[in-house]
Chains A and B, each alone.
Chain A
Amino acid sequence: MATLNVLVAVCLAYVAFLFAVAFAAERAALRGRTNWLRSPIVYTLSLSIYCTAWTFYGAVGYAARSGLEYLTIYIGPSLVMFGWWWILRKLVRIGRSQRITSIADLISSRYGKSNLLAVGVTLLAVIGTTPYIALQLQSVTLSFEVFADVQSGGEEIAGQGSNALLVALGLTLFTIIFGTRNLDVNERHHGVVMAIAVEAVVKLFALLAVGVFVVWGIGGGFASTLERIDASEIGMWQMSGDRWASLIFLSAAAFLCLPRMFQVMVVENEDEGHLRTASWAFPAYLMVMSLFVVPIAVVGLELLPTGSNPDLFVLTLPLATGNEGLAMLSFLGGFSSATSMVIVAALALATMVSNHIVMPIWLSANGSGVQMSGDVRNVVIMARRVSIGAVVGLGYLYYQFSGGGTALASIGLISFAGVAQFLPVLLGGIFWRGATRPGAFTGLTVGFLVWAYSLLLPSFGTGAMLSEQIMTAGPFGIGWLRPQAFFGIEGLDPLVHAIFWSISLNTFAFVAVSLITFPSPLERLQGAQFVNVFEHSQGPRSWSGSVGQSEDLMIMAQRIIGAREAQALFEREAQRQGVSGFLPEPSPDFLHALERELSGSVGAATAHAMIGQIVGGASVSVEDLMAVADETAQMMEYSSQLEAKSEEQARTARQLRQANEKLTQISVQKDNFLSQVSHELRTPMTSIRAFSEILRDSDKLSEAEKVKYSSIIHDEAVRLTRLLDDLLDLSVLENGQVNLNVQKGMLSDLLDHAVATALTGSGIDSLKVTRRRASEAVALHTDLERLSQVFINLIANAQKYCDADQPELTIEVGRTDETLVIDFIDNGAGITKEEQAVIFEKFSRVGAQKAKGAGLGLAICREVMARLDGSVQYLPGQGGAAFRVTLPDRVALAAE
């Protein structure tokens, strides 16, 4: 019994050593001395939990049974690592930027933080992993038995089941202690990682030691070992190509999708740079691990009695050759492989179970009580601990019920095939923005159903789960649905068959449903963030919160990530925002940062729900976006209104300026007019006074002289009267007191009269008038005298002011839609632009007053035309001065 006791002692010492290592690592991390904890080597070694007891012991057995096929299990992951630039780099970046805590979290987060999906993935992961944990427990128990058998000489040792129980309890304890010490925001466990790194070294060293012993101790050197290999029963390459290819694919897929691999590879990753080292160092590790497998198998087959379990050659070869120390080392290696796998798997699954199943249930059970009820932090930790216990316990139960039989041996690959169902959804999620939640859900469901039906259930043995009849004839006699011959394609290896159909139907369903469904806005945002993670690591999605909620958020955050950490976080955020104190504004940025911190502890979906509860409402919905767009539109409208207003004001100002200019001009004109009027009045008055004084005082005037002077007095009086008449006329017109004397007449007659009157008393050649009588045949019904007055005035103006050598006046009559227009166009220099503005004003006179007149003519014309419902305007751009008289059409029509 000495060896067994020594074994137990060594085993206990080893466990104590692991505890010490984990504890020291935690302490070092707490003190911030994490340099060596964070080295790429530790990361690489932690990946070695891929090599479980199944590979440590099982690889040799696998090789003894199937030759080099066991290499596929290592080649797949090696290829994934060599291709790290494609997938792992992206996964790690997404994991870091989104604070991903598990593969379930990643998938749920990518597909719109769907908790349903997370629950599904979690359950499937548990189903896939539980047998695997059972396998580890079995391997530890078996290896104990080997020692016990040697000791007792085959006597049955009581309580071998209790070994498994003890191991399970110990592992649970270890995981709980180092896996849930703190709710780290990054979900990183320095103690656990350090411990499994040490175990990685131990198992590699143990296997190498056995290998070296076998090759150089027993086999007689490298070359002779190769000869032995060729001479053995696995000496020829025998491989079915489909298994070789399928298993490489399967192990590569499982390497990416296994929850425990995801945990160490993505979640525990400290630095993306570590991947660069791991990309070659981990394949090298795998290569070394598998290097001596075949020699051990061959020598074992050769030396050990037929019928001995090849799965235990690693242990039994040293024992059979009397190397108990080496056997013990080998045992520790297997023990390390088993324990590290169980620890990390339990941790990863517990994170998923507590984040995606326990917490949502607890939250909904407590309703809106995130703020009111007890300490969430404790709830999360308790949920983790219970979950760890439950996961390991499930594994133990599975081990107990399956009886530790050989059925477990094949479970490794079955488990791989189960978790490989995540692959399409995982890769689709990070490379294809069109992947949707319904698609992911359908794909996963289909994949798992096919896997369970074609691989998992038949693995329990014919008749155990699926009856003999279903296996051979299909369910309900449907032949093409036989579990191991879908669509009637027979002859495939059952494993290859299951992998092929489950993965392809899974992918097909995933893609097809994704194509026909439409993702929710959050899903689309997350999809863009995942797929384009290298372009923007900051999230575009945002929360909107009000100020009063900061305190509630603080209370909640304290409960989840711890009071000190929460306060530090809030203070840091407040400082960043430039606010003093502990309560930052709940800006979208801050809420987003907080959500990420929380999701590190409780998972993305839960964190999202918790913040949603406090802030009220989900994050930005399409409606919010539309409201924002509305507001923007309103603001744009408002600003365009302002613009229009300011434009209007500018226009008004311009008009005012014009008016002001006009007023100034008018005022100047008035002054001019007053002086003009006084001059006009004074000149005749002076003549009248002078000549009437001569008539009065002078007696010696001849009769002719008297007549002459009297007529001068008369003429001047007439001029005065005319001036006063004009003023009176204008005044009457302006006051609207005029009575129109409406008559009928022809336009041509009116023009004849006007031309004759205007040109009376001047030479025939003084003004040449051009008319087109044909167009003038328009009957009018209006005040002809007033209209005639306007015409006379315009013709007289042309006569007076036209400065051409041979003055000409063209009178054109035309009709537009609703008006009759009569244009008076001369061939003079025209009127300057400045003067155009004032010519219709009273008292305005053009030019240097070379002609006589009081400047009332056009003003009177304008007033007259206004009374006749027409107008008179200056018509620019006609080569000379041009005036347009406009009459409403009804004036003309009325006559017809």
Chain B
Amino acid sequence: MARQKAIFVERRSYRRRRMIDGLRLLPFVGLFLWFVPLLWTDAGPDGVSTADAIIFIFGIWVSLVAATAFLTRRALGEDDNPPTGDL
């Protein structure tokens, strides 16, 4: 039993580390997505309408907020003392 428990803890801390990796990666994901508008062509028949742009940009925003909230919670738990070292 003790052995199984150890495996369980190991898995959990592994999960936490991957969550922190995700946290680290998130700003770059955001930057990438928010740089997508650079590819859009300017005004013209093929242009992107402002309404669509708003939906795209705010969609990214909402997803990033949700992802950060989720990852932060999963990575650091509810305890008041998050792990401080670089894991």
A binding-site residues for B, Cβ under 8 Å = 67-68, 71, 75, 78-83, 85-86, 93, 226-227, 229-230, 232, 234-239, 241, 244-245, 248, 271-273, 276, 279-281, 283-284, 287, 291, 294, 534-535
Instruction: Tell me, yes or no, whether B35 is within 8 Å of chain A by CB.
Output: yes
Report yes or no: B50 in contact with A82, Cβ–Cβ below 8 A. no
Report yes or no: B86 in contact with A234, Cβ–Cβ below 8 A. no
Report yes or no: B38 in contact with A241, Cβ–Cβ below 8 A. yes
Given contacts A68-B57, A85-B24, contact A230 B30 (CB under 8 A): no
CA distance A134 to B65 in the complex (A): 34
Q: Which of A71, A79, A244, A271 contacts B27 (CB 8 A)?
A: A79
4 shortest A-B CB distances, which residue pairs? A83-B27, A280-B69, A280-B68, A237-B48
Sample of 15 A–B contacts (CB below 8 Å): A85-B23, A229-B51, A236-B42, A236-B43, A236-B47, A236-B48, A237-B37, A238-B47, A241-B38, A280-B68, A283-B64, A287-B61, A291-B58, A534-B85, A535-B85
Q: Which residues of B contact A294 (CB under 8 A)?
A: 50, 54
Beta-carbon contacts of B65-87 to A below 8 Å, as 1s and 0s?
A: 11011001000100011101110
Report yes or no: A279 in contact with B84, Cβ–Cβ below 8 A. no
**Cβ distance A308 to chain B, nearest Cβ, rounded Å:** 21
Report yes or no: A82 in contact with B43, Cβ–Cβ below 8 A. no
CA distance A93 to B86 in the complex (A): 13
Report yes or no: A230 in contact with B49, Cβ–Cβ below 8 A. yes
**Cβ distance A292 to chain B, nearest Cβ, rounded Å:** 11
Instruction: Tell me, yes or no, whether B31 is within 8 Å of chain A by CB.
Output: yes
Report yes or no: B80 in contact with A273, Cβ–Cβ below 8 A. yes
A-B Cβ contacts below 8 A, count:
111
**Cβ distance B45 to chain A, nearest Cβ, rounded Å:** 10
**Cβ distance A63 to chain B, nearest Cβ, rounded Å:** 9
Q: Which residues of A contact B50 (CB under 8 A)?
A: 67-68, 229-230, 232, 234-237, 294
CA distance A71 to B48 in the complex (A): 16
Given contacts A237-B37, A245-B35, A287-B65, contact A82 B54 (CB under 8 A): no
B binding-site residues for A, Cβ under 8 Å = 20, 23-24, 26-28, 30-31, 34-35, 37-38, 40, 42-44, 47-54, 57-58, 61-62, 64-66, 68-69, 72, 76, 80-82, 84-86
Report yes or no: B58 in contact with A248, Cβ–Cβ below 8 A. no
Q: Which residues of A contact B42 (CB under 8 A)?
A: 236-239
**Cβ distance A530 to chain B, nearest Cβ, rounded Å:** 15
Given A237-B48, A245-B38, A535-B85, 11 new contacts (CB under 8 A) = A75-B34, A78-B64, A229-B54, A236-B47, A237-B40, A237-B43, A238-B43, A273-B81, A279-B68, A287-B65, A534-B86
Q: Which of B23, B48, B51, B68 contacts A283 (CB 8 A)?
A: B68
Report yes or no: B40 in contact with A284, Cβ–Cβ below 8 A. no
CA distance A71 to B34 in the complex (A): 10
**Cβ distance A261 to chain B, nearest Cβ, rounded Å:** 17
**Cβ distance B26 to chain A, nearest Cβ, rounded Å:** 5
Q: Which residues of B contact A79 (CB under 8 A)?
A: 27, 30-31, 34
Q: Which residues of B contact A235 (CB under 8 A)?
A: 49-51
Q: Which residues of A contact B20 (CB under 8 A)?
A: 85
Q: Which residues of A contact B72 (CB under 8 A)?
A: 276, 279-280
Q: Which residues of B contact A279 (CB under 8 A)?
A: 68, 72
**Cβ distance B38 to chain A, nearest Cβ, rounded Å:** 4
Q: Which residues of A contact B69 (CB under 8 A)?
A: 280-281
Report yes or no: A280 in contact with B65, Cβ–Cβ below 8 A. yes
CA distance A581 to B62 in the complex (A): 58
Report yes or no: B37 in contact with A78, Cβ–Cβ below 8 A. no
Report yes or no: A82 in contact with B40, Cβ–Cβ below 8 A. no
CA distance A234 to B42 in the complex (A): 12
Q: Which residues of A contact B28 (CB under 8 A)?
A: 83
Given contacts A78-B30, A273-B82, contact A68 B54 (CB under 8 A): yes
Report yes or no: A287 in contact with B85, Cβ–Cβ below 8 A. no
Identify the closest chain A residue to B80 (Cβ): A273
**Cβ distance A167 to chain B, nearest Cβ, rounded Å:** 33
Q: Which residues of A contact B44 (CB under 8 A)?
A: 236
**Cβ distance A642 to chain B, nearest Cβ, rounded Å:** 43
**Cβ distance A533 to chain B, nearest Cβ, rounded Å:** 9
Q: Which residues of B contact A229 (CB under 8 A)?
A: 49-51, 54
Q: Which residues of A contact B40 (CB under 8 A)?
A: 237, 239
Q: Which residues of A contact B43 (CB under 8 A)?
A: 236-238
CA distance A234 to B44 in the complex (A): 13
Report yes or no: B68 in contact with A237, Cβ–Cβ below 8 A. no
Q: Which residues of A contact B31 (CB under 8 A)?
A: 79, 248
- Which of the listed residues A81, A85, A232, A239 has the most CB atoms from chain B within 10 Å of its own CB? A85
Q: Which residues of B contact A93 (CB under 8 A)?
A: 84
CA distance A284 to B61 in the complex (A): 8
CA distance A280 to B69 in the complex (A): 6
CA distance A227 to B49 in the complex (A): 10
Report yes or no: B82 in contact with A272, Cβ–Cβ below 8 A. yes
Report yes or no: B26 in contact with A83, Cβ–Cβ below 8 A. yes
Given contacts A78-B30, A82-B27, A229-B54, contact A276 B82 (CB under 8 A): yes
Given contacts A86-B27, A230-B51, contact A78 B84 (CB under 8 A): no
Q: Which residues of B contact A238 (CB under 8 A)?
A: 42-43, 47
CA distance A475 to B54 in the complex (A): 44
Report yes or no: B23 in contact with A236, Cβ–Cβ below 8 A. no
Report yes or no: A239 in contact with B37, Cβ–Cβ below 8 A. yes
Q: Which residues of B contact A271 (CB under 8 A)?
A: 80
CA distance A279 to B54 in the complex (A): 22
Report yes or no: B76 in contact with A276, Cβ–Cβ below 8 A. yes
Identify the closest chain A residue to B64 (Cβ): A82
Identify the closest chain A residue to B41 (Cβ): A237
Q: Which residues of A contact B80 (CB under 8 A)?
A: 271, 273
Q: Which residues of B contact A241 (CB under 8 A)?
A: 38
CA distance A229 to B57 in the complex (A): 15
- Which of the listed residues B38, B54, B62 has the most CB atoms from chain A within 10 Å of its own CB? B54
Q: Which residues of A contact B68 (CB under 8 A)?
A: 81-82, 279-280, 283
Report yes or no: B86 in contact with A226, Cβ–Cβ below 8 A. no
**Cβ distance B25 to chain A, nearest Cβ, rounded Å:** 9
CA distance A534 to B69 in the complex (A): 23
Q: Which residues of A contact B81 (CB under 8 A)?
A: 273
Q: Which residues of A contact B38 (CB under 8 A)?
A: 241, 244-245
Q: Which residues of B contact A280 (CB under 8 A)?
A: 65-66, 68-69, 72
Q: Which residues of A contact B61 (CB under 8 A)?
A: 78, 283, 287
CA distance A294 to B50 in the complex (A): 9
**Cβ distance A825 to chain B, nearest Cβ, rounded Å:** 74
Identify the closest chain B residue to A235 (Cβ): B50
CA distance A227 to B50 in the complex (A): 10
Q: Which residues of A contact B57 (CB under 8 A)?
A: 68, 71, 75
**Cβ distance B55 to chain A, nearest Cβ, rounded Å:** 8
CA distance A294 to B81 in the complex (A): 41
Report yes or no: A283 in contact with B65, Cβ–Cβ below 8 A. yes
CA distance A244 to B35 in the complex (A): 8
**Cβ distance A831 to chain B, nearest Cβ, rounded Å:** 70
CA distance A235 to B66 in the complex (A): 29
Q: Which residues of B contact A272 (CB under 8 A)?
A: 82, 84
Q: Which residues of B contact A283 (CB under 8 A)?
A: 61, 64-65, 68
CA distance A831 to B42 in the complex (A): 113
- Which of the listed residues A71, A82, A284, A535 has the most CB atoms from chain B within 10 Å of its own CB? A82
CA distance A277 to B78 in the complex (A): 11
Report yes or no: B53 in contact with A68, Cβ–Cβ below 8 A. yes
Report yes or no: A244 in contact with B51, Cβ–Cβ below 8 A. no
Q: Which residues of A contact B58 (CB under 8 A)?
A: 287, 291
Q: Which residues of B contact A82 (CB under 8 A)?
A: 26-27, 30, 64, 68
Q: Which residues of A contact B27 (CB under 8 A)?
A: 79-80, 82-83, 86
CA distance A71 to B59 in the complex (A): 13
Q: Which of A85, A236, A248, A535 contacts B34 (CB 8 A)?
A: A248
CA distance A93 to B54 in the complex (A): 36
Q: Which residues of A contact B65 (CB under 8 A)?
A: 280, 283-284, 287
CA distance A534 to B30 in the complex (A): 26
**Cβ distance A722 to chain B, nearest Cβ, rounded Å:** 93
Q: Which residues of B contact A83 (CB under 8 A)?
A: 24, 26-28
Q: Which residues of A contact B34 (CB under 8 A)?
A: 75, 79, 248
